[in-house]
Amino acid sequence: MRLRFRFRTIPFLATVVLVALGIALGNWQVRRAAEKTELQARLAQRSALPPLVLDGKPVDPAAVEYRHVIVTGEFVPNWPLFLDNRPLEGRTGFVLLMPFTIAGTGQVVLVERGWVPRDPAVHDRVPHVAAPPGRTTVEGVAVLHPARVMELGKAPPPTPGAIVQNVDPAGFARASGLAVLPVVVEQTSADAPTAAAVEPVRNWPGPAVDVDRHKGYAFQWYALATMAFLFFVITGFRSGTKQAG
């Protein structure tokens, strides 16, 4: 039996779309895997470095990100912010964010002090968490901004004590008028025992570096492109051979 191929325009166009889509999405997942591999290496390299002292001098955010840092100064007690929609182990709550004035400078760095529970009886009531009085030293990890959550529309500028969805150093600087470093510190050190009745929970999730997941997705998209092409070829030969017969 002589094989014949029957070309059909609509299946061909559908195949082109599927093959192009599969290759494009597969390439995107490969790039994501490369980015996560680079992030993994950067995390390992920076975690091995000695702690960086934030002394108020200008910092390069990209160079400081994920570094262990130490900063000495005082919290600004009248400017707390409560980051909303931050559940922990099935409980609703906030992440408490406070500005921290670096000793001997006019510079401020935002410090994520930790997770605090929400009052289940009053949705918009924020907990009172005392700041350590006087000069104190905070240790933590520098990040570019607090972890983001989905937010609808454009939020108004933050105000002292406000419940907000997202905030970054630049936006806080504009709202507060303070000179703010372009990084945020996820606090890992404990507060003084008398600073607060309940210490915020400091269980910071690390950045996702699931490289294998992106490689798996890439394989699936490439497989879809291959299957679409093979399906077009095989059905074309079957249809053409059957028609010839």
User: Which pLDDT band holds residue 243 (cuts at 50, 70, 90)?
Assistant: low
Please give the DSSP secondary-structure letter assigned to residue 91.
Answer: B
Q: What is residue 107's predicted lDDT score, i.e. its pLDDT?
A: 94
pLDDT in tens, 198-232: 678 898 887 777 788 888 999 999 999 999 999 98
CA–CA gap between residue 221 and residue 31 (Å, rounded):
13
Q: What is residue 175's predicted lDDT score, i.e. its pLDDT?
A: 92
Is pLDDT above 70 for 193?
no
CA–CA gap between residue 48 and residue 68 (Å, rounded):
9
Q: What is the mean pLDDT of residues 129-158?
A: 86
Domain extents for the chain? 9-42+210-244, 67-187
3-class secondary-structure state, position 164: strand
Highest mean pLDDT among 85-99, 149-163, 182-196: 85-99
Q: What is residue 126's predicted lDDT score, i.e. its pLDDT?
A: 83
pLDDT in tens, 9-65: 888 899 999 999 999 999 999 998 888 888 788 888 888 889 999 998 889 998 899
Are 112 and 166 in contact by the 8 Å Cβ rule? The answer is no
3-class secondary-structure state, position 85: coil
CA–CA gap between residue 234 and residue 42 (Å, rounded):
47
pLDDT in tens, 85-133: 898 888 899 999 999 999 989 899 999 999 998 887 777 788 888 888 8
Q: First vs last Cα of the chain: how many Å apart?
A: 8
Q: Does the reported pTM lie above 0.85? A: no
DSSP assignment string, 179-243: EEEEEEEEE-SPPPTTS-SSPPB--PPPPP--HHHHHHHHHHHHHHHHHHHHHHHHHHHHHHHHH
Please give the DSSP secondary-structure letter assigned to residue 169.
Answer: H
- Copy the structure tokens of residue 228: 């679409």
- Copy the structure tokens of residue 100: 């921290």
- Residues forming a β-bridge with 81: 97
Is pLDDT above 90 for 69?
yes
- Number of neighbouring beta carbons within 10 Å of residue 162: 17
Q: What is residue 39's predicted lDDT score, i.e. its pLDDT?
A: 79
